[in-house]
Amino acid sequence: MRILLAVLLLLLAACTSSTPQPVRLKVLASPELADLGPVLEELKRATGVELAVEHRGTVEASRSLAGFDLAWLSTTRFLRLRGAEPALSTSIMTSPVVLGVKPGKRAVLGERPTWADVADRAAVGEFRYGMADPRVSGGGMAALIGVATAAAGTGAALRTEDVSCDRLQGFLTGRVFDVPDPIAEYARRSDVDGVVAHESELLSLNASGRADPVEIVYPRDGIVLSDYPLMLVDPAHRAAYDRVVEWLRSAEAQRMIAERTWRRPVDPATPRDEKLRADIGTALYFPDRQEVLDRLLLFHDRAGDGRQVIFVLDYSTSMRGARIAALREAFASLNGFDRFHVGETVTIVRFAGSVLEERSITVRGRQDLDALLAVVASDDLRDNTAIWAALDHALRLARGETTVVLMTDGENNAGPSVDEFLRVGRGEVPVYPIRFGEASAAELDRVAQASGGRLVEAGAKSLLEAVREIRGCR
Amino acid sequence: MQEPEFRAVDPRRCFLLWFVPPLTVFVLGLVVLLVSGHITGPFRNVTVVRALLASKRDFFQDEQVKRILMARGYQVHVTPAGSRDLARKPDLDSYHFVFPSGHVANEHVKTRRTGKHAVPFRPFFSPVVLGTFRGYAEALVRAGVATPHDQGEQPLYYNLDLQKFMELVEKHKRWNDYGAANGNRVIIQSPDPCKAYSGAVLAGFLASARDDNPPQTVEAAEDLARRIKPQIDAQGQTSEDMAPKYFAPEGPTHAAIAVIYEHQYLAHQLEKRGADKERVLLYPTVQHQSTPELISFTPEGDRIGELMMTDPELRRRAVELGFHSLGWNGATEQDFAGHLSERGVPEPPSGERGRVALPKAELFERMIDVVGDCR
């Protein structure tokens, strides 16, 4: 009888599905997925598939998946822009790219801040943050896209022509570091107000007690949601891939992912912690051209300290009334993305028959901007117009990378003529004349062309648009 | 005289008393599992059928469907692909059957299989619809482009006037112009029209809103495509497979309006017994019934197709998953509305209004290529 029973048991054991062949797969994964260790242990136990993971920033990893069996990145978006997305990919979990803010600094950003608010406070030195390098990391790139989309203000996906350099600069002024692991750097330092990262990383940081808990800010104008697709790179491993995906999407694995790594499960039935139920708001439309990202990175690399803008402003009596009012209005409305930012040197040269006032300020905070407005508010208008003498004076003030903006409404009737002015070599500083009223278009255009700048009609576009277009980086 | 009683304790009997009841339970359970298809016995051969599937993989990935097929001796191994992508796959011939979601892709597949085994089955259909959320639907009502379909307090279906909607889109209106807290432009998000049938249908919808007469020449098709292209480009990069994202708790973040199939929505509501009052559907003035075709390349594929057409359990499950089932003669079967209302889901307005007139297949293809910059 016993023998019979034993035979029966053996037979049954043979019938139940045996554990599949153990497999070891090479996986390229985003760096933040280093927290999946315990999940991968369990995966190996349940499916026999071991994932040997190499971590690389998502933007960098998306340049080539060669040599790997699977890829597990925060998104396929960068791969798709290159037309290099593997045919099979399955989203496993999600997490938005957001801002973690030190509780004491939270009020600076306002109640429900946008990326525009963050850039604005960063530009005047009131908010200092860290992020990952956008040339390498998906999180860093998401932040750049967020700010640039907000700056463009079209409500649609960013196009190449929407990316403007000066608006990124203000945001980047507040950046204290762009290391590969911004969370660790943030936890280590005390002089930083916030950090751009995935919600999951910030919740993990808060749970770990490594730093004072950060408050999570979901920018109101739009976040970028990472959906962590597992991709089959080498089709030969289809069977193992199917096993891994099936297990990762099982109730057990989804619960483990939510509990251990603070990512949002894709299975709606998985129970979630209160913190993973927070409303993350709107997502940004994501650009669909690689050139847009290339341009963002180009401007990102160029942004830096030590730029100078010199405004040469005509305060002759003919400017009285509407023209001077328009000029002041243009200055007053330079805020938000168009604001002068910390580290930028702004020089104002007021002139009539001679230079009336010269004021240079390297912006360190909000009060410096007020001082600039005070210069422009002057009612000291005089007779005569010595355009070329004033411009000559301004060009002597140029240091390093400089742009000169010349605003005038009259004919030159004092000092050197345009021919005399142009006879002297003027170097590399571009001059952007903005023409009001009767000023000679031909002369202004000659000077603009000779310097590498461009003539702007104050009437054709609003003055504000003109100022926005020409200041900032080239 | 009383005989002395001998109670012989039979050890075998004792063992059997202990052993037989659990054994009975075990054997009965095993039989039930085998019959229902939960497990396979050592005496049954399971045929693995390889299939290339678009959105209809929802059906073959359903646990009950898998069980029913297993009980019939089949396991369908699913490889996902968008319908238009599917029709162009270089390894098309390596599958037992494919299941594109709509007409153009169906025809493309059949053309590629000319002279080879290609048997079509049409077990069901489902309209292409626009999935949104109550807040956005109400914003569209305020904008004067949508109206609730039923009178209840929380209608699940709205009718969308595509022409008026298209005007909002072309004027670059934002959601917050109509009281929804979202600064993004009002647009519809779809999968890549180059790859997915539902993405192509969206282009068809927008084109019909611009011109009710489908273009008759290549030039007219390209011209119309260029007129609607900016409204499709505004969404930026498309994302594949919108339905799972739409039904996730983060759904409103993924897309304000997503192109999905009606069956996906009904399956969700049937499972919740109509309790999800947040997710609602917009039915465009002109609708599009997609008739997916199971196109079989082998006898194994034929067998799956026949089961889809005749197996009562599979056909009942299809209705439970929100499909309008079709018989051999192409007529609708089963009490679709009755089935829904029994489970607390109101009948959707599918098929009530006109159908979108899509251009002829080759002109439609050309239009999509222009709209999507398809490579």
pLDDT one-digit tens code per residue, A322-349? 888 888 887 776 666 666 777 788 899 9
Q: Could you tell me the CATH superfamily of domain A305-470?
A: von Willebrand factor, type A domain (3.40.50.410)
* Nearest residue, CB atoms, B253 vs list A91, A156, A280: A280
Instruction: Write out the residue limits of the CATH 3.40.50.410 domain(s) in chain A.
Output: 305-470
Chain B residues close to A227, C-beta within 8 Å: 245
Mean pLDDT of A307-326: 88
Q: Do A155 and B253 touch (CB under 8 A)?
A: no
Q: Do B249 and A268 touch (CB under 8 A)?
A: yes
DSSP letter string, B168-194: HHHTT-BGGGGT-S--SB---B-S-TT
Q: Which amino acid is at A403?
A: T
Mutation to test the A interface, candidates B39, B185, B229, B253, most A Cβ within 10 Å: B253
Residue-wise burial string across B141-158, b where 16 or more C-beta atoms lie within 10 A, e elsewhere: eebebbebbeeeeebbbb
- pLDDT-flagged residues of chain B (< 70): 1-17, 19, 21-22, 25-44, 333-334, 351-354
What's the CA gap between A388 and A258, in Å, rounded? 68
Selection from A219, A265, A273 nearest residue A100 by Cα: A219
Chain B: closest CA distance from residue A406 (Å): 35
What's the CA gap between A395 and A427, in Å, rounded? 9
CB pairs under 8 A between A and B: 83
Q: Do A266 and B174 touch (CB under 8 A)?
A: no
Q: Which two tokens stand for residue A159?
A: 């196009």
Instruction: Write out the residue limits of the CATH 3.40.190.10 domain(s) in chain A.
Output: 13-93+227-273, 96-225+280-301
Q: Which residues of A touch B (CB under 8 A)?
A: 1, 15, 77, 80-81, 83, 87-88, 91, 94, 96, 154-158, 220-223, 225, 227, 264, 266, 268, 272, 277, 280-288
Most confident of A44-53, A150-159, B14-23, B207-216: A44-53
What's B74's DSSP letter?
A: E
Q: What is the pLDDT at residue B337?
A: 86
Establish if B159 touches chain A: CB-CB under 8 angstroms.
Answer: no
Beta bridge partners of B129: B260
Q: What is the pLDDT at residue B36?
A: 57
Establish if B178 touches chain A: CB-CB under 8 angstroms.
Answer: no
What's the CA gap between A78 and A57, in Å, rounded? 11
A265 to chain B: closest CA residue: B248
Mean pLDDT of A59-69: 96
Give percent above pLDDT 90 in chain A.
Answer: 54
Chain A residues close to B235, C-beta within 8 Å: 156-157, 285
Chain B: closest CA distance from residue A107 (Å): 22
Q: What is the pLDDT at residue A242?
A: 95
Chain A: closest CA distance from residue B308 (Å): 25
Q: Do A88 and B80 touch (CB under 8 A)?
A: yes
Chain A: closest CA distance from residue B174 (Å): 7
Quickly name the fold that domain A13-93+227-273 has: D-Maltodextrin-Binding Protein; domain 2 (3.40.190)
What's the CA gap between B218 and B230, in Å, rounded? 20
* Nearest residue, CB atoms, A287 vs list B12, B181, B236: B236
Q: What is the pLDDT at residue B338?
A: 87
Chain A residues close to B183, C-beta within 8 Å: 155, 220-222, 282
Establish if B27 touches chain A: CB-CB under 8 angstroms.
Answer: no
Using 50, 70 and 90 to split pLDDT, how confident is the model at A402?
confident
Chain B: closest CA distance from residue A95 (Å): 10
Other CB atoms within 10 A of residue A278 CB:
14
Q: Do B234 and A156 touch (CB under 8 A)?
A: yes
Q: Do B253 and A281 touch (CB under 8 A)?
A: yes
Using 50, 70 and 90 to split pLDDT, how confident is the model at A262?
very high
Establish if B11 touches chain A: CB-CB under 8 angstroms.
Answer: no
Mutation to test the B interface, candidates A243, A288, A289, most B Cβ within 10 Å: A288
Establish if B15 touches chain A: CB-CB under 8 angstroms.
Answer: yes
Exposed / middle / buried, residue A79 (Cβ in 10 Å: 0-12, 13-18, 19+): buried
Tell if the pTM clears 0.95, that is, is over it: no
What are the φ/ψ torsions at residue B32 (nearest 5 degrees)? -60, -45
B180 and B187 in contact (C-beta within 8 Å)?
no
Mean pLDDT of A191-219: 94
Q: Do B244 and A88 touch (CB under 8 A)?
A: no
Q: Do B248 and A282 touch (CB under 8 A)?
A: no
* Angle at the Cα of B333 from the Cα atoms of B332 and B336, rounded to 5 degrees: 95
Mean pLDDT of A119-138: 92
Q: Which two tokens stand for residue A406?
A: 């010349």
Q: What is the pLDDT at residue B17?
A: 67
Q: Do A266 and B254 touch (CB under 8 A)?
A: no
Chain A residues close to B79, C-beta within 8 Å: 88
* Nearest residue, CB atoms, A80 vs list B80, B237, B248: B237
Q: What is the pLDDT at residue A424?
A: 81
Chain A: closest CA distance from residue B48 (Å): 13
Quickly name the fold that domain A96-225+280-301 has: D-Maltodextrin-Binding Protein; domain 2 (3.40.190)
Name the one residue in this structure whose structure tokens are 């993924």: B254
Q: Do A158 and B233 touch (CB under 8 A)?
A: no
Average pLDDT taken over every residue of chain A = 88
Using 50, 70 and 90 to split pLDDT, how confident is the model at A286?
very high
B129 and B349 in contact (C-beta within 8 Å)?
no
Using 50, 70 and 90 to split pLDDT, how confident is the model at A460?
low
* Nearest residue, CB atoms, A288 vs list B187, B237, B245: B237
- Our measurement of the distance from residue B329's CA atom to the centroid of its chain's CA atoms, rounded to an integer in Å, reads 22
Using 50, 70 and 90 to split pLDDT, how confident is the model at A14?
very low
Chain A: closest CA distance from residue B186 (Å): 9
B78 to chain A: closest CA residue: A242
- Our measurement of the distance from residue A421's CA atom to the centroid of its chain's CA atoms, rounded to an integer in Å, reads 41
Domains of chain B in start order, with CATH, are: 47-125+291-342 (3.40.190.10), 127-289+353-372 (3.40.190.10)
Q: What is the pLDDT at residue A4?
A: 56
Establish if B247 touches chain A: CB-CB under 8 angstroms.
Answer: yes
Mutation to test the B interface, candidates A74, A82, A266, most B Cβ within 10 Å: A266
Q: How far is CA B154 from CA A427, B158, B283, in A?
A: 70, 11, 16
Q: What is the pLDDT at residue A16?
A: 47
* Nearest residue, CB atoms, B250 vs list A87, A157, A280: A280
Q: What is the pLDDT at residue A75?
A: 96
Q: Do B248 and A156 touch (CB under 8 A)?
A: no
Q: What is the pLDDT at residue A474?
A: 46
Chain A residues close to B172, C-beta within 8 Å: 154-156
* Nearest residue, CB atoms, B234 vs list A280, A284, A285: A285
Using 50, 70 and 90 to split pLDDT, how confident is the model at A204?
very high
